[in-house]
Amino acid sequence: MRTLLFFFTSFLATAQLPKPPQSVIDFLASAATALSEAHSQDSSYPSDPGPFLDHFDSDMPGFGSLRGDVEGLVTEASVSSSIEPVSDAGDDHKRTLELDWILQIEGQPMRRKVVKVTIEKRKKDWKFTAFDPIDFFKP
């Protein structure tokens, strides 16, 4: 039994999550940071979800709903966000990923979901072009 436990522990230690290209990692880190910085603690300055929403193609299905949810969320509370890739496939222009996305919203239980996304290059920048579930950011 001890050998089996060692094998399982060793397997977990060496198992790696998919490693998307560095440009995708940078894009996801930038999105998480932008969401975390969107809420204003100072009432004289409004919350600004714009930098986070800039990570999305405004022509994406459901973008209007997503924008409204994000605006409501960051207006109401401080949000901490982290993203970890679970699966990754694609090329230098289009990728489909599953992301383990964690939201810690002030005053609420932690929210964690594996979301399915598509990102595509728009000019030189990655943009989310599909996001499921679209209501993940609902306040």
pLDDT in tens, 59-95: 999 999 999 999 999 988 899 999 999 999 999 999 9
Q: Do the domain assignments include residue 9?
A: no
Residue linked to tokens 């949810």 = 69
Q: Do the domain assignments include residue 1?
A: no
CA–CA gap between residue 45 and residue 18 (Å, rounded): 39
Q: Do the domain assignments include residue 138?
A: no
| Number of helical H runs and strand E runs in the chain | 4, 4
CATH number at residue 117: 3.10.450.50
Three-state SS at 34: helix
pLDDT > 90? residue 33: yes
Query: What is the model's pTM?
Result: 0.83
Residue 39: which domain range? Answer: 21-132
So what's the pLDDT on residue 16?
61
So what's the pLDDT on residue 14?
44
Number of domains in the chain: 1
Three-state SS at 89: strand
